[in-house]
Amino acid sequence: MIQDKKIVFSGVQPSGNLTIGNYLGAIKNFSRFSDDYKTFYCVVDLHAITVRQVPAELRRRTYETLALYMACGLDEKKNTLFVQSHVPAHAELGWILDCYTMFGELSRMTQFKDKSAKHSQNINAGLFTYPSLMAADILLYQTDLVPVGIDQKQHLELSRDIAMRFNQIYGDTFTVPEGYISTDTMKIMSLAEPTSKMSKSDPNQNAVVYILDSKDDIIRKFKKAVTDSDSEIRFSEDKPGVSNLITIYGAFTGKSVEEVEREFAGRGYGDFKLAVGEACADGLAPVREEFARLMADKAHLEAVMKSGADEAAYYARKTMSKVRRKIGFVN
C-alpha cells in the first residue's frame, strides 16, 4: 500500500456528553482534512479511564462518540474511524514511550495539575503518564498534522520532544508532528464563567451547551448566559461573556466579529442571546437527527469500528515493527 497523502490524527474521549466546544473547536473541523489527507479519528477510551468510569456508561458513550463523529460529517469511507482500545499497539507504544519521557516533563503538564485537584482521591499513575500515551497515539501513525484545541498544545509539544529524542537516539523512526489550531474557534468558554473553558464535566448544567441538547434547552441556557453590566455588544478582553457569545454566533453563522457587532449595534443583550441560541440550535439540528439515525443501527456502528480498527492496526504494525527492531526487542 503506497501512502502518498500526509497523515492527520486526532481523538476525543468518550467520558461525557460532548459540548459545542468539542464540536466547534475540534470535530466540526475534522472533515476539512478528509479529501487531502489520510485521516485517523479515534475514540480514545484508554484515556477515559484515568478517571473512574461507570462501565455501562463508558460503553454507551463509546458508541455515541463514534456516532457523533459520523453525524458531524466524518464519512467512514473517507476517514479511518476506530476505538483506541481495539488497536493494542497504542498501549504497547505508550509504555515504550513512558521510558523515553522524563518525570520532570510530565510533572509540568498543567492538565495533570488541574485533574489532580479535581480528582484528589484518585491521582493514579495513568493520570500522570497519559501524555506519553497521547504521544503514542500520534506517533503510531507517523502523523504529520494534529488538529488540537489550544489546551492540548502543551501535550503536542511534548509529543514532538519525545519523537525527536527517540529519533536522536535510534535514527529516523517517527514523523515529528505539527499542530493545527483553528484560529476562529480556538476556545469556547463557559456560559456561567466566561473566563473558564466550557467543560463537559462542569456540574453547572447551565454553563454548558451539549451537542445533543434540545432546541428549548439550548435557547434557555443562552438566555441565562453571563454577560456584563455594559449593554454594548462588542468583542473585547474586558467583556469575556459577550465576546464568547460573539465567537459562538460567528461560528454557527459564518459571520466575522465585525459583522456580528454591526448586526447587533444598538440592540440589547436579550435579543442577542436569543439569536445566539437559535443559531446554535438550528446549526446542531441536522447533527442531532443524523446521530439518532446512527444510534438506532448499532450493527453498522460496530462494522465501522471493526473496519477502522483493522485499517489502523495495519499502519500501527508497520511503526511497531520499526520501533521494536530499533530498541532491541526480538521479533
User: Considering 187, 197, 215, 322, which one is annotated as catalytic?
Assistant: 197
Q: In the numeric block, which cell numbers belong to residue 222? A: 443562552
The phi-psi region of residue 142 (left if phi > 0; otherwise alpha if psi is between -120 and 50; otherwise beta) is left
User: Considering 38, 115, 239, 273, which one is annotated as catalytic?
Assistant: 115
* Distance, CA of 18 to CA of 75 (rounded, Å): 19
Query: For this structure, is 187 an active site residue?
Result: no
Instruction: Assign 263 to helix, strand or coil.
Output: helix
Query: For this structure, is 298 an active site residue?
Result: no
Q: In the numeric block, which cell numbers belong to residue 324? A: 521494536
Write the DSSP symbol of residue 180.
Answer: E
> DSSP states of 83-139 as a string?
EGGGSTHHHHHHHHHHTTS-HHHHHT-HHHHHHHHHTTT---HHHHHHHHHHHHHHH
* Distance, CA of 42 to CA of 38 (rounded, Å): 13
User: Considering 153, 187, 200, 322, which one is annotated as catalytic?
Assistant: 200
For residues 280 and 209, the answer to whether their CB atoms sit within 8 Å is yes
Query: Residue type for 258, please?
Result: E
* Distance, CA of 255 to CA of 222 (rounded, Å): 19
Terminal-residue alpha carbon distance, the chain: 22
Other C-beta atoms closer than 10 Å to the C-beta of 27 total: 23
Q: Which residue has the cell 475540534?
A: 26
Strand order in the sheet with 80-83: 80-83, 38-43, 7-12, 145-147, 178-180
- Helix ranges (H only) for the chain are 20-22, 28-30, 45-48, 55-71, 89-98, 103-107, 110-118, 125-139, 153-170, 215-223, 240-253, 257-263, 269-295, 298-327
What are the catalytic residues?
Answer: 115, 197, 200
